Amino acid sequence: MDAVILQILNGLDKGSAYALIALGLTLIFGTLGVVNFAHGALFMIGAFCAVTLNRLLSLSHQVVDETQKDFLGNPLKVDVPYVNDIFGEATGSAIIDWSVPLAILFSIPVMILIGVIMERGLIKHFYRRPHADQILVTFGLAIVLQEIIKQIYGANPIPTPAPDAFTGSFDFGVLLGFDPNAVIYPYWRLIYFAFAAVIIGAVFAFLQFTTFGMVVRAGMADRETVGLLGINIDRKFTIMFGLAAAVAGLAGVMYAPINSPNYHMGMDFLVLSFVVVVVGGMGSLPGAVAAGFLLGVLESFASMNEVKAILPGIDQIIIYLVAIIILLTRPRGLMGRKGVMED
Amino acid sequence: MSKSNVTRRGVLRTGAVAGAGVALPTIFTASSARAFTNEPTGDTVTLGFNVPQTGAYADEGADELRAYELAVEHLNGGGDGGMLSTFSSQVLDGSGIMGKKVEYVTGDTQTKSDAARASAKSMIEKDRAVMITGGSSSGVAIAVQGLCQEAGVIFMAGLTHSNDTTGKDKKANGFRHFFNAYMSGAALAPVLAKEYGEDRKAYHLTADYTWGWTQEESIKAATESLGWETVETVKTPVGAGDFSSYIAPVLNSGADILVLNHYGGDMVNSLTNAVQFGLREKQANGKNFEIVVPLFSRLMARGAGESIKGILGSTNWHWSLQDEGSKAFVQSFGTKYGFPPSQAAHTCYVQTLLYADAVQRAGSFDPCAVAEALEGYEFDGLGNGPTLYRAEDHQCFKDVLVVRGKENPTSEFDLLEVVEITPRSQVEYAPDHPMFSGGSLGSCNSGA
């Protein structure tokens, strides 16, 4: 029982990341009709926003410490961050320690800007082209973005720790009456789940309760009519693209402490997120979120030793297996609407 | 306008005939006088450096390439000569190899076997490389070693730690200086027993390919012989990204030690995950829970950041060693590049020198003569104490380092501290040891 609860918890944070990425993918697909293979790269860039802010805050000047020697026997040069000079050592280190939460604020404008540039600069030229062209150009874009990041930050993962206050893990087992240590879960992953829930809620509220959201939803349903009513739907959709980029970016920022960011982390998530979108139903936002969590939890269960003992290798194919079953029984996915991608 | 007989067609025809005429003699000499693959005929010799320049191990590959460039510089008489002065064999004098200036070409393995074979093949056929070296994955090393055997050139393996490289997949044309999984187990197990006690229960997470399998087998055998029990071994896909679903069940499994048979990005991720789950602050079976990473590298330690502190592992070489060879190498590498070399850089530099030295001693670039010169060769002054290139399996035997993630690093390179230098005698094994059985060297191929 405790193992089951543990794997459900475990699936939730992975599911959160899938859900956030799939949400953005569906938003873009629903509004602009574009299949955006560069969306995983936006997630990756988000994670590197955290890395960048961490580096910016840690920018240092060198002070020669005569008492210590470096590896060649010369006096050791010690790095002193500028923030320490400005705010004093205690505040300075606290700021660097909190760089990941601070990166949330930093990443929103950056990601919206990147999203808008991507949409205006490249993707808008592909609206009327076949989906195959869109896939090729966005996939190419993803590779370009990935290589740029690799050029700047190198190929190895870069550790980007969460604030010290959030290290360690929470003992759920004790709450539920199990032995201590039976069900433990890292604090930061719990925060990630809560954060994802808030973001998903905020996006839904934005679409449901604002005029802007109403127009966008109307545009998703019938772009032409909304245009005929004199509403500049293209502009609204550009903003939606920026918003979707920001959602992917935020998912990336918060994910940085969970797995050290590297340049190909976006690709790892992208493929699965597409499966999530298809399983959830093309164009359905609640479907994307539900399928994200569902597949995250299933993936977790499949990697349990008890399950692998019966079905070896199941952990690597479970998602695709479930996708096949769902699509065979419900060809439009869990919550797919009629008419989407069927014309 | 003057009338001329020169036409475009005529020029082309003459050019083609002349070109063929010039090329003809070389075509004949190249095929008829060839004693072995890519025999160097001019006053230069070309070596092929096959390292991951893109992909997950690109940083490791970059460090290997720096080491190769440094080795070439030293062989050609540039720089401060590095280990040439400390190497026990004093036949290299900075005048190239057998008087021929050393040149090199590089290939990108992408850490993929097929890409690595393609780039090695291109360097052999197009660039006429007489020796191929490099790599930072055992899958790649084994694939390229097989190719070099077929092509008739020497392969000096770079960073490859699987037992199979000089075990069931060993080849007469292939040589490994780097240590292997068996040696890691033999060196690490006594230190683990000393530090953590002999009554321990271990849980293995293992990368699902040749290197992971042999390392799990080696560590398991070595620790079990000291009284440890192995609770569970779980194979994880290479590049799994998030290992939390594999880490989560560990604490409740009855184990009190987690062994991570992962390397590169996988190791960084699995270790970070394990530390996030708070394993290191937990108690199990009344003991402190501990994590072990049998194969460490400084580049990985940098990726894992804080998580690495206090964790035990083994490594082939570390820049803080105080023997003359290591000091000379760190000095010239550090002066040229501004930071200390990694273990991958060290093994690649040493392999290049060992190859050059063997050619010089054999008096020929013929792979069979070079192989003969390397087989059973005893040397010293290259950083790991007296070393033997064993004739039976082309594996180097030397001291192995047990290291620990440093608690208070003074710089981003000062991440590991040497706990013990395990003497060579303790990591030696018979050539027919069951973990290495199944293959045979075969006979050397010179491509003639």
* Average pLDDT estimate for A32-40: 87
User: Scanning the structure block, which residue is given the tokens 């439009």?
Assistant: A332
Count CB-CB contacts under 10 A for residue B24. Answer: 10
Contact B335, B80 (CB under 8 A): yes
Least CB–CB distance from A161: residue in B265, B282, B306: B306
Residues 97-156, chain B, touching A (beta carbon < 8 A): none
Any CB–CB contact under 8 A between B248 and chain A? yes
* Average pLDDT estimate for A92-110: 91
Two tokens at B332? 């010239």
Positive/negative CA dihedral, A222, A223, A228, A230: positive
A275-334 confidence digits (pLDDT tens): 898 898 887 888 999 999 999 898 888 887 778 778 877 877 888 999 999 989 988 888
CA of A220 vs chain B CAs: smallest distance (Å): 35
pLDDT, greater one: B57 or B39: B39
Separation of alpha carbons B262 and B247, rounded Å: 13
Interface test with A, best of B233, B245, B270 (most A CBs within 10 A): B245
B77-90 confidence digits (pLDDT tens): 998 999 999 999 98
Is residue A45 scored above 50 in pLDDT?
yes
Q: A6–B304: do the CB atoms touch at under 8 Å?
A: no
Nearest CA in chain A to B263: A156
Secondary structure of residue A29 in the 3-state scheme: helix
Interface test with B, best of A9, A71, A171 (most B CBs within 10 A): A71
Give the model's pLDDT for residue B1.
43
Is residue B6 scored above 70 in pLDDT?
no
pLDDT, greater one: A107 or B298: A107
Separation of alpha carbons A7 and A46, rounded Å: 27
Helix extents (H) in B239-342: 244-247, 264-276, 298-304, 324-337
Give the model's pLDDT for residue B32.
40
pLDDT, greater one: A164 or B382: B382
* Average pLDDT estimate for A167-185: 77
Two tokens at A176? 């539920």
Is residue A178 scored above 80 in pLDDT?
no
Q: A71–B335: do the CB atoms touch at under 8 Å?
A: no
Q: Confidence band (pLDDT; 50, 70, 90) for B391? A: very high
The domains located in chain B, with CATH, are: 44-179+319-391 (3.40.50.2300), 182-315 (3.40.50.2300)
B241-282 confidence digits (pLDDT tens): 788 888 888 888 889 999 999 987 788 889 988 988 888 888
Between 1.10.1740, 1.10.3470, 1.10.1450, 2.60.120, what CATH number should domain A2-56+101-329 receive? Answer: 1.10.3470
* Average pLDDT estimate for A106-117: 94
Chain A positions touching B339 (Cβ under 8 A) are: 71
Nearest CA in chain A to B242: A259
Give the model's pLDDT for residue A342.
57
The structure's pTM equals 0.82
Give the model's pLDDT for residue B34.
61
* Average pLDDT estimate for B329-336: 94
pLDDT, greater one: B23 or A246: A246
Interface test with A, best of B232, B238, B252, B258 (most A CBs within 10 A): B252
* Average pLDDT estimate for A164-172: 82
Two tokens at B312? 């035990």
Nearest CA in chain B to A255: B242
* Average pLDDT estimate for B343-360: 96
Least CB–CB distance from A260: residue in B251, B303, B320: B303
Contact B180, B395 (CB under 8 A): yes
B7-37 confidence digits (pLDDT tens): 656 555 655 555 554 444 443 344 444 688 8
CA of B349 vs chain A CAs: smallest distance (Å): 19
pLDDT, greater one: A222 or B63: B63
Separation of alpha carbons A182 and A13, rounded Å: 19
Nearest CA in chain A to B321: A71
Give the model's pLDDT for residue B403.
94
Average pLDDT of chain A is 86
Q: Which amino acid is at B370?
A: V
Give the model's pLDDT for residue B29.
41
Q: Confidence band (pLDDT; 50, 70, 90) for A340? A: low
How is chain A split into domains, by residue range? Answer: 2-56+101-329
Q: B265–A265: do the CB atoms touch at under 8 Å?
A: no
Give the model's pLDDT for residue B27.
39
Give the model's pLDDT for residue B25.
42
Interface test with B, best of A9, A10, A269 (most B CBs within 10 A): A10
CA of B274 vs chain A CAs: smallest distance (Å): 10
Based on the number of CB atoms within 10 Å of its own CB, is A223 exposed (0-12), middle (13-18) or buried (19 or more)? middle
Lowest mean pLDDT among A168-182, A184-198, B131-145, B342-356: A168-182
Give the model's pLDDT for residue A76.
76
Q: A184–B251: do the CB atoms touch at under 8 Å?
A: yes
Is residue A246 scored above 90 in pLDDT?
yes
Q: Confidence band (pLDDT; 50, 70, 90) for B58? A: confident
Q: A159–B303: do the CB atoms touch at under 8 Å?
A: yes
Q: Which amino acid is at A199?
A: I
